[in-house]
Structure 1
Amino acid sequence: MNAFRAYSLLSTINTCRLIRRNLPSNSNTSTLRVIADRVGVKRRSRRFLRNYILANGLLFGGGSLYYFCYLTTKQKRQIKVSFEGLQRALRSFRIGFLIAVDYKYHFWTIPDTSPEYDSKLKECHTRAAERIAQGCIENGGLYVKMGQGMVSADHILPREYTDGLRLLQDRALRRQRNEVSQLIDEEFGCEVSDLFSYLSPEPIAAASLAEVYEGRLKSTDERVAVKLQYIDLQDRFTGDMLTIRMILYAIGRIFPKFEFSWMIDSVKSNLERELDFKLEGENAEQCYAQLSPHLKYIYVPKVFWEYTTKRVLVMEYIDGIKISDTKKLQEANLPLNEVDTKLVEAMAFQIFHSGFVHADPHPGNVYVRKDPNTPTESNVQIVLLDHGLYVTIGPKDREALCQLWKAIILKDEAKIKQYSLALGVQAKDYLTFAAVLSMRPIHRPIHDMAISPGVWDRMSPDEQRAARAQGKVRFPSEKEFLNMNSQQKMAIRKDFATIFSDIEDSILRTLYDMPRSLLMILRNLNQIRSTIRDHGNLIDRHTIMARSAILGARKYETPQRLIKDRIYARLELFMFDLILFKDRTERWFKFKFLKFLVIFGYMSKETEKLVEQFQ
């Protein structure tokens, strides 16, 4: 030990001598001070680092002790959700940034009239849809719900988006272990076995907001469906909605034509209602009370209120077949055309008569079975499930909607404009609104600068030259357009570039201006259209909807007190039936003719799919 100390002392002395030898004599004192100052700074830095680590260790240790020993399970979950919310937000902004860069990079130098524009655009749409779908799956919950909402908007969004996001319809959150018993304890303050004599270990159905289990009530032994909300959804709601709002705002700043941040308040309101299962039970009872007196084939499961809270809903168990399971419906001898007819009649009654509309009738929420109380051949019963999302159409808007639909049938532009304005749409967008609402082409092009083929062909050569001088163009007929090759379609794109841009702006304005309840009506109609299309378009939904609208409009017109008024009303309804029959017959022959062209190779299968979109 002494030898070691001697060696250390000699080393220090030799080091000092070496420093002094290599420095001028007048700087010896100052240099030693600098060295001493540096040594002092290092010592203070080490002391600060040591104190910092010690303080953080005490803070972390104390926080951990408080977290594990003093917080309840619910409080622990809320803290965890807060940290996970930051992770979801960062993931969402990263995906949004990548999508924005992808579009900007690929279309920086490519004009929309370029031959490669369409193919590049479809590729970008596909990549964006894949990124959004993956982000929704990783984030779960409300993000999956938003993605599912985008799928149902296939009448607005490009097909690449709806196809890429369709996988979200079968996605749900993964429930954590013991979450069911924890939720029952938080809602009822008891064990699962205290309420149910049996509860299936695995869910029989799952969605983005909840899971459904089969169970039996302990008190009455009744078979029930138990809908349990994911336990942390309400905890993460505010943070996730804020993130989604910021993303939509950023998209609107980068791509002004796709500014949809105005929709977020409506979406937030809808989700808040969907997360309240007590409200869902009330909606179910109101729906059945309004439909059952008029449509005997509609059924809504009974609610067990003593077992229902904001996050738990217990209803009567229904043995039925999903309306999308075509094979099982046919095996059960349930005619698809009767199923589709009754479904459309029910939705039309809600839209045009009761004004209390199921806004989410996707295939998972509509079951079909034979009516147990009606032993007849025509005993198809429609069972409506999941009543969390409803919209109410007030009497004034409902009257305008009925009259608008009636005017569309009669091709009465003055009335179309009048009732479109009554529903809040701008005067220049009334034809766009009529086409969007009916989800089909109307009697003439919706842009004033485009002239339909029939009108153009009846014009004299001088009138056609005058129209061209004003910038007006002849719109191709359906047959002409479907027979065009890619080069001809590109030429049409160039000729109609300004018109197409105006129509796109008009659609966005229309969606912004129309009442928010009508946006949900569009969602309802689109989901019904999708179901009917999957069944093979066996019925004419346009005729069913139109007849219901006409009957609804009659309720707001002058009461038929005299016999002549009643006779006139009957004749008017007969006239409408003839108009609808003529319209239906024309569309049937057009569709069959186009199918004939596809069969014999004059048109592609892609064209056939395009035609089916308008059925």
Structure 2
Amino acid sequence: MFRNATLLSKASSRRTFTSQDSPPTRWRKYLRRAGFVALGVGSFYAVDRAFNASAITRNIRTLYTCAIITIDYKLNFTQEKSESIPELHTRVADRMYNLFTSNGGLYIKIGQAIGANAALLPKPMQEKFAKLFDDAPQIPYSEVLRVFKAEFGRPPCGDDGVFEVFEEKAIASASIAQVHRAKLRRLPGDTEDKWVAVKIQKPDVAKQMFWDLGAYRLVMYMFEKWAFDLPVYFVVDFVSDHLRRELDFILESENAKQTARFVASEPRLAKKVHIPKVYDEYTTKRVMTAEWISGVRLSDRNGMKRLMGENDTTLTAQATVSPSVGLTEIVGPTFSFPAKPLKGGFSSVMQIMVELFSAQMFSWGWVHCDGHLGNFICRPNPNDPTLPQLVMLDHGLYVRVDEDFRRDWSLLWKGLLIGDFTSVEQITRKWGMGLPDMFASVALARPVRLTRKDRRAEVEKVTRELEEYMNMSQYEQSVRMKAKLKQFLIDTDRMPKALIFLFRNMRIVQGNNQYFGAPVNRVKIIGLWASRSLTRLTRLTIGQRLREYANDMIFRGVLVSLDVAFWWTRFKQRVFAFFGTRSLSFEEELEKAMRGLMRNNVGINVESSMFNG
């Protein structure tokens, strides 16, 4: 009996201990599980970072951000929450910008591709995309050394090095590559040192490309089907293909050589434009070596004023914001300014640039798609040191267009400038696009009202739509904007995808001209090249060619009114500057009118930053 009582006492004691001890036991179990999860997540993160350049982690961040954006739009883009739609756009813009800048690398290029025509996006996105510059921290020299050994089997310099001298500190660093200065080893017969610019691809970029482009494809699909209900996915294959090409420096070297051949074949540009020589023996898929060029970046405001002998009186207010410079801060360290400023001022520099891009679009069908000011150097012309010469850099992104497209593009430009609704409508319909007036305005970066037989009815219609638009809620304005954009992009399968980059070029060239106070009549120069190119088409009969020459002469006469408007604006700038104030430049006046047209006709508020290139 005593023994049974003892057993019951022990059992009771055991039950009491277990009951009291269970909570700590559960917590230990939960903590142990949490530790295993943390260890697993940490190990996954470390492995992904070490062996996969954080590609999976970056794309988890992408999918999470895009899911939040989609849910936010589904819940808050409603008639009931109309007044809070601007805040919704701001949240989305901040999330997208933070995503692109956090992930870096190819995401910067993707963001620039999406923002190529950001004027069609809500106002907060326009502001954010305008800040996506192609800049990034340098990778350490140890990684540069690793790339060189992988590509050449030896280090950049030293007894067994590729170069005699290789500066370990990069001159510039962008999202996918960075540039170092180096000196070639002397060969028999060399009388002077040869300095070169060595562009080195960052090792992580190639690892991340597959995942990044996959995420880009998914994001564009989500935005089209779930979030914005706008046709955006159709550009994915075209943009992805060109982004892949940017990572192949052998292709970039071939692009540079092809451009040099085109420049040499054009008498108007042959001595005014220079493409740096590429050294094939020191160029691989991930390393490109080209001649070092000393000069002044066009984005260097003070340097260009000193080189060209200009002052601030005609420069635009926006010029205080330097355009994206990317990889091209490779100039300047060894440049000596000439004793006297170069002749021609800013107008001579911009004349060369606008003619260069016009030749690419209308004559060569070979278009450099990243022509911001940071990708140009200005230096004294070796053929005549009193005149400027432009050096064009960074040949990673080009688009090729065939002669049929160039013919349509040239006819379109002539139609745009003379306000011929019929010819513009025929070509835009052929390309699967509607709203010829809107297309004309986007292409020219200036407001265009094309001539119609029912002109009065059209004016009354626009006035009526404007009055209706001003009385709409934020939600109704956004819905109307989407409807207009769908009318603009009727059949994306027929749309020439090269237009994406050509429109971007229009924005960049306009911004470059505006940066220098609009010293040249950009629209007239482009129009003249378009008209002239029609006389040079290869498949014309003698009669057709003579007819095109006659049309070209007539067209030149039509453009006189445009020239009068340009020079009147320049005259006002000079007069206002004399009295210590400033007047709008020709480009600024076009921009102001263009912003009004886009707001009134389409419901898009275009920020002035979208015209800065």
State whether structure 2 residue 560 is matched by structure 1 residue 581: yes
In the alignment, residue 518 of structure 2 is paired with which amino acid?
N
Asked whether the 8 Å contact 1:225–1:314 carries over to 2, the reply is yes
Query: Greater shift after overlay, 175-184 or 508-517?
Result: 508-517
Shift of 1:19: 8.8
Pair member with larger Rg: 1
**Alpha-carbon distance, 1:499 to partner:** 6.7
Deviations 1:523-560 (A, max 9, x none): 12211111112222222211111100000112239868
* Residue 245 (structure 2) aligns with: 273
Is residue 2:524 matched to residue 1:546?
no
Q: Residue 227 of structure 1 aligns to a residue in which SS?
A: strand
Tell me, what secondary structure is at the counterpart of 2:133?
helix
- Partner Cα separation in structure 1 for residue 136 and residue 2 of structure 2: 72
Distance 1:456 1:132, change over 3 A: closer
* 1:352 alignment counterpart: 362
Alignment match, 1:437: 443
**For 1:212 and 1:21, how far apart are their aligned partners in 2?**
78
> What residue in structure 2 maps to residue 149 of structure 1?
113
Contact kept? 1:368, 1:381, Cα under 8 Å:
yes
1:212 is matched with which residue?
Answer: 179
Residue 610 (structure 2) pairs with residue 610 (structure 1): no
Residues 15, 399 of structure 1: alpha-carbon distance in 2 compared, 3 angstrom cutoff: farther
Distance 2:571 2:113 in 1: 33
Which of 415, 418, 427 is 1:419 aligned to?
427
Which of these residues, 491, 503, 510, is aligned with residue 484 of structure 2?
503
With over 3 angstroms needed to count, the CA separation of the structure-2 counterparts of 1:111 and 1:173, relative to structure 1, is same
* 1:529 corresponding residue in structure 2: 510
Using the TM superposition, give the Cα deviation of residue 411 of structure 1 relative to its aligned residue in structure 2, in angstroms.
2.5
**CA positional deviation for 1:455:** 5.8
Matched, 1:100 2:61: no
What is the rounded CA distance, in whole Å, between the counterparts of 1:132 and 1:324 in structure 2?
A: 27
- 1:293–1:374 CA distance, 2 compared to 1 (3 A): farther
Q: Per-residue deviation at 1:80?
A: 2.9
Residue aligning to 1:320:
295
Moved more, 495-504 or 187-196: 495-504
| Alignment partner, residue 164 of structure 1 | 128
The higher relative CO (CA closer than 8 Å, separation ≥ 6) is in 2
- Would the aligned equivalents of 1:130 and 1:165 in 2 still touch at CA under 8 Å? no
Which residues in structure 2 correspond to 1:75-474 (within 5 Å)?
A: 80-82=50-52, 84-110=54-80, 116=83, 120-176=84-140, 178-193=142-157, 194-220=161-187, 221-294=193-266, 295-296=269-270, 297-333=272-308, 335-376=345-386, 379-422=387-430, 424-426=431-433, 428-444=434-450, 472=461, 474=463
Cα offset, 1:176, TM superposition: 4.0
Deviations 1:459-509 (A, max 9, x none): xxxxx8xxxxxxx45369xxxx9xx9xx99446999999875542222344
Q: Distance in 2 between matches of 1:529 and 1:12?
A: 102
Is contact 1:432-1:510 (8 Å) kept? no
Say whether 1:519 aligns with 2:529: no
In the aligned structure 1, how far is the partner of 2:71 from the partner of 2:451? 35
Contact 2:535 2:545 in 1 (8 A): no
Post-superposition offset of 1:510: 6.5
Say whether the 8 Å CA contact 2:230–2:482 is kept in structure 1. no
Query: How far apart, in 1, do the equivalents of 2:80 and 2:564 lie?
Result: 44
Shift of 1:285: 0.5
Q: Distance in 2 between matches of 1:271 and 1:584?
A: 39
Give the secondary structure class of the aligned counterpart of 1:555: coil
Query: Identity, % of aligned pairs?
Result: 26
Secondary structure, in 3 states, of the residue corresponding to 1:309? coil
Distance in 2 between residues matched to 1:498 and 1:82, nearest whole Å: 42
CA deviation digits over 1:100-149, x for unaligned, max 9? 3444444334476xxx4xxx444333332222222222211111222233
Of 516-525 and 273-282, deviating more is 516-525
Partners of 1:515 and 1:126 in 2: CA distance: 32
Q: Would you say the 8 A contact 2:118–2:129 is kept in 1? A: no
Aligned AA for 2:463? Answer: R
Distance 1:235 1:13, change over 3 A: farther
Q: TM-score, normalised by structure 2?
A: 0.74
Q: Are residues 528 and 253 of structure 1, via their aligned partners in 2, closer, same or farther at CA, if it must alter by over 3 Å?
A: same
Write out per-residue CA displacement over residues 286-337 of structure 1, whole angstroms, 9 at most, x where no aligned residue. Answer: 0010112311201000000000000000000011222222321110125212
Matches within 5 A, 1:26-41: none
In the alignment, the residues of structure 2 paired with residue 536 and residue 571 of structure 1 have an alpha-carbon distance, to the nearest angstrom, of: 34
Contact 1:137 / 1:171 at 8 angstroms: preserved in 2?
no
Instruction: Quote the Cα distance in structure 1 between the aligned partners of 2:469 and 2:173.
Output: 48
In the aligned structure 2, how far is the partner of 1:507 from the partner of 1:81? 45
Whether the 8 Å contact between 1:248 and 1:259 is mirrored in structure 2 is: no
In the alignment, the residues of structure 1 paired with residue 10 and residue 243 of structure 2 have an alpha-carbon distance, to the nearest angstrom, of: 76
Give, in whole Å, the separation in 1 of the partners of 2:3 and 2:251: 83
Task: Encode CA deviations 1:5-45: one digit per residue, 9 max, x unaligned.
Answer: xxxxx9997664459999xxxxxxxxxxxx9xxxxxx9xxx
Q: Contact 1:78–1:235 (CA<8 Å) still a contact in 2? A: no
Mapping of residues 63-78 of structure 1, within 5 Å: none
Q: How many residues align?
A: 523
Opposite residue 351 of structure 1, the aligned amino acid is M
1:69-99 Cα offsets, whole Å, 9 max, x none, are xxxxxxx998734372221112112222333
Alignment match, 1:27: none
Distance 1:135 1:386 in 2: 26
Structure 2 SS opposite 1:232: helix
- Give the Cα separation in 2 of the matches to 1:282 and 1:370: 26
CA distance in 1, matches of 2:122, 2:105: 24
User: What is the deviation of 1:577?
Assistant: 1.7
Residue 535 of structure 2: SS of its match in structure 1?
A: helix
* 8 Å Cα contact 2:412/2:424 also seen in 1: yes
* CA spacing shift, 1:174–1:167, aligned 2, 3 Å: farther
Following the alignment from structure 1 to structure 2, what is the Cα–Cα distance between the partners of residues 600 and 312?
47
Identify if the C-alpha distance between structure 1 residues 124 and 404 changes in structure 2 by more than 3 Å, giving closer, same or farther.
Answer: same
Letter in 2 for 1:306: E
